[in-house]
Amino acid sequence: MKTATQKLTQSYAILNFYKNLSPQLKLGAGIGIMNPFSDAVARQLAETFYHKYYNDQHPRTFIFGINPGRFGAGVTGVPFTDPIRLKDICGIDSDLPKKAELSSLFVYAVIDAYGGPEAFYYDFYITALSPLGFTKNGVNLNYYDDKELLKDSEPFILQCIREQLETIATTRDVCYCLGEGTNYKIFQKINARHQFFKEIIPLPHPRWVMQYRRKKVEDYVKVYVEKLKG
């Protein structure tokens, strides 16, 4: 049974949000929902992670990604955190295959430059416009890659933003968006209508950096840290 004190912590609010996700989406042929919290291992790892870094009432600045990927949050339940980073950086081991995920490599380079996981997670909460992931024929699918899925996802995205802002403490003045292209444009349009945040600051998506700007990773890490500390 949860105590009154536990109910007030950020970890409780975050975990409660994820545990109660139940989207009603019309999925096209070959499209499936990827919900890490439907998996017992990922759910347990996420609970350990959030209780370790968010067991307080300190407000965080929100960082919105696109949606979970198969080899990061899809298996660990923690955004942009593969099993290797979860063990080596966060000190949370598992029996999961120690497979690296590109976005996780970059995000944890940023976290290290910021001052380490304790400092970073004390200041920030990483989520996504769609906290649930999607696959099409077994391959990662962004919520905006399919026109019908994009249209059908918007009510779910709005509901998720509202619920998180209502339960997870934040300044609500500013947030960050991972992805300077489609994800940012969609988020801008949503925010213009609903005024969730006063400002959305876009950042290059970690996977884009690792795929197309690999030789300049250190430069992009510096850009991230400067903007996050700005």
Q: Using the predicted structure, report yes or no on whether residue 14 has a pLDDT greater than 80.
A: yes
Query: In this predicted model, what pLDDT tens digit does every residue of 135-165 receive, in sequence order?
Result: 888 888 999 999 999 998 999 999 999 999 9
Q: Which pTM was predicted?
A: 0.93
Q: Contact at 8 Å (CB) between 96 and 41?
A: yes
- For the stretch 185-222, what's the b/e string if a residue is b when 16 or more beta carbons lie within 10 angstroms of its beta carbon? ebbeebbeeeebbeebebbbbbbbbbeeeeeebeebbe
Q: 32 has which bridge partners?
A: 135
Q: Please tell me the distance from the alpha carbon of residue 22 to that of residue 18, in angstroms, as a whole number.
A: 9
Query: In this predicted model, what pLDDT tens digit does every residue of 40-57 receive, in sequence order?
Result: 999 999 999 999 999 999
pLDDT score of 137: 86
Q: Please tell me the distance from the alpha carbon of residue 230 to that of residue 226, in angstroms, as a whole number.
A: 6
Return the residue matching tokens 């949503």: 190
- Sheet with 124-128: strands ordered across: 124-128, 61-65, 174-178, 199-203
Q: Contact at 8 Å (CB) between 39 and 95?
A: no
The backbone torsions φ and ψ at residue 135, rounded to the nearest 5 degrees and listed phi first, read -130, 155
Q: Using the predicted structure, report yes or no on whether residue 24 has a pLDDT greater than 60.
A: yes
Task: Report, as an integer, the average pLDDT of 212-217.
Answer: 96
Q: Using the predicted structure, report yes or no on whether residue 5 has a pLDDT greater than 60.
A: no
R_g of the chain, CA atoms, integer Å? 17
- For the stretch 46-84, what's the b/e string if a residue is b when 16 or more beta carbons lie within 10 angstroms of its beta carbon? bbbbbbebbeeeeebbbbbbbbbbebbbbbbbbbbbbbb
Q: Using the predicted structure, report yes or no on whether residue 71 has a pLDDT greater than 80.
A: no
Q: Please report which confidence band the pLDDT of residue 4 belongs to, taking 50, 70 and 90 as the band edges.
A: very low
Q: Please tell me the distance from the alpha carbon of residue 65 to that of residue 43, in angstroms, as a whole number.
A: 20
Q: Dihedral through CA 122, CA 205, CA 134, CA 140, nearest 10?
A: -130
Residue 123: how many other CB atoms lie within 10 Å = 15
Query: In this predicted model, what pLDDT tens digit does every residue of 87-129 receive, in sequence order?
Result: 999 999 999 999 999 999 999 999 999 999 999 999 999 999 9
pLDDT score of 138: 81
The backbone torsions φ and ψ at residue 2, rounded to the nearest 5 degrees and listed phi first, read -75, 140
